[in-house]
Structure 1
Amino acid sequence: MTELAGKVAIVTGASSGIGRGIAERFVAEGAAVVVADVRDDEGQALTAELNAGGGTARFRHTDVGDQAAVRELVETTVATFGGLHVMVNNAGISSPLKKGLFHEDLEEFDRVMRVNLLGVMAGTRDAARHMAEHGGGSVINLGSIGGIQAGGGVSTYRASKAAIIHFTKCAAIELAHYEVRVNCIAPGNIPTPILASSATDEDRERLERFEARIRAQMRDDRPLKREGTAADVAEAALYLATDRSRYVTGVVLPVDGGTVAGKVIPRKPPPGTTPS
């Protein structure tokens, strides 16, 4: 398990959920990983765990909505480990769960866009500046199937994820000359803490019932019935981080059990068999 041996990676929003899964997978493959997050206790605990297991990890408090903080994150990583080969722009937040568009006051618009979109744009730019002068690299942006498929609710979140997808393609075209590959992973139906963060205070007592209903709907809409995990997304990130994807850039890779491919159709018996 040495696909990333000698490589240096940054994973933002790495203290939990998908970011944690990616950080763990990268360390297991031999990368030196900078765990970047605003949650100090969780981030430091993960870093200690990774190092105790024989890996190499450092924690850096980073608010990706602050461009100066993102620039310092990249500069500190290069100074500490001597380079940067993989940038995973994973940090993100959800917009509040409201009862419908008519009830949406858009108070969280600036905050959601600053973290979800500006953080990705700044992270891509600052990582690519270094990569362009040092032989290239891989930038992996985390979108969502919510940015591919339209749907009701959390409209600001969906808009931010759609913008990430378009930005990723634009950046891929511009940076290809420098051997910097830029791709997007669009997870779907992956249980993470972000869904809980979308609930407003008055919704919290109903969140458990709401989440159970949403998860059930997701299972019904998903062709593959196995539940997705952060580890599944981490496998996709590993592929995009390595030389196995050296001719891949500007793609959006859904990791969603086939959800965006289309609705589930009723199961039919194989050809040539007689229905019982």
Structure 2
Amino acid sequence: MKRLENKVAIITGAAGGMGAAEAILFAAEGAKVFITDVQEAKLKAVAEEIKRQGGIAEYAVQDVSSEQSWIDMAEKTELLYGRIDILVNNAGITGNLLGPIEDRSVEEFNKVIGVNLLSQFLGVKTVVPYMRKHQSGSIINISSIGGIIGSANATAYTASKGGSRSFTKGAATEFAKDNIRVNSVHPGYVATPMTKEMNGASDFEQMAVGATPLNREANPNEVAYGVLYLASDESTFTTGSELIIDGGATAL
């Protein structure tokens, strides 16, 4: 039996990188996936790839910082598939990583918090009632090693990811009575389209490799398999945890 057979999963930020890897892997493991992002063409391509491989997928453009978009998306998922078993709050942005705090604007800070943290609150708030109907569910919030260690010039990002870490633990405690598990995943440096854009403008890739004892960036699939474990019934006694997948970066 496949690891996610008969389960329905929502994955945000699934147009590329880790989100796309998670969606393709989940579908291969038997899940029906509903994927969202703001990049419609790339999102459609991921859904088509899943279907080409024999999986089941639907997609929708979603602003994850909008409560109404979450309400609409959850209603559509249940209408399509009859239930919601898994939520992966994967959507995220880095924001402007160059420059000191005093040069950052309130608008910049709020945008990062909205996409990276508010979205997770809205996702949990919206999806939990659907999971509660079946007295089961798994929610995985994608945080970062930036939620564990500090980083100069990335304070909005680290604040959002630290908030994700703490929010996860509070939600895990709150929903344990409903048999709904909530865990966070903390990737280190991952080779994704987002980080490649950063690499093109800086020495980020060289820095990332130098800060990682395994001496390389992760492949998105290496994170996706950790998310798969938390989504599956293999982790039914795991909640409120933080799974670090960083090549040893936080061990230094």
Same fold judged by TM-score > 0.5?
Answer: yes
Aligned with 2:200 (options 197, 208, 220): 208
Pairwise CA RMSD of aligned residues? 1.5
Q: Which amino acid aligns with 1:38?
A: V
- Alignment-derived partner of residue 58 in structure 2: 58
User: Which residue does the alignment assign to 2:178?
Assistant: 178
Q: Deviation per CA, 1:181-222: give whole Å up to 9, x if none.
A: 00000111102233366x6xxxxxxx5251xx2222222221
What corresponds to 2:222 in structure 1? 232
- Which of these two proteins has the greater Rg computed from alpha carbons? 1
For 1:119 and 1:151, the matched residues in 2 are separated by 22
Deviation at 1:92, TM superposition (A): 0.9
Is 1:73 aligned with 2:63?
no
5 Å matches for 1:153-192?
A: 153-192=153-192
Residues 24-77 of structure 1: CA deviation (Å, up to 9, x unaligned): 110110110011111111111111111121110001111111011012111110
- What does 1:27-38 correspond to in 2, within 5 Å? 27-38=27-38
Could you tell me the percent identity over the aligned residues? Answer: 37
Q: Does 1:253 align with 2:234?
A: no
Provide structure 2 residue ranges, at least 5 long, that are not aligned to the other structure: none
Alignment of 1:6-25 (within 5 A): 6-25=6-25
TM-score by length of 2: 0.95
The 2-side partners of 1:77 and 1:107 are apart by 32
Normalised by the length of structure 1, the TM-score is: 0.87
Aligned residue-pair number: 252
Partner AA of 1:208 in structure 2: G
Quick one: distance in 2 between partners of 1:185 and 1:159?
16
Tell me the secondary structure at the aligned position of residue 84 of structure 2: coil
Match of 2:232 among 238, 242, 256: 242
Identify unmatched segments of 5+ residues in structure 1: 200-206, 263-276
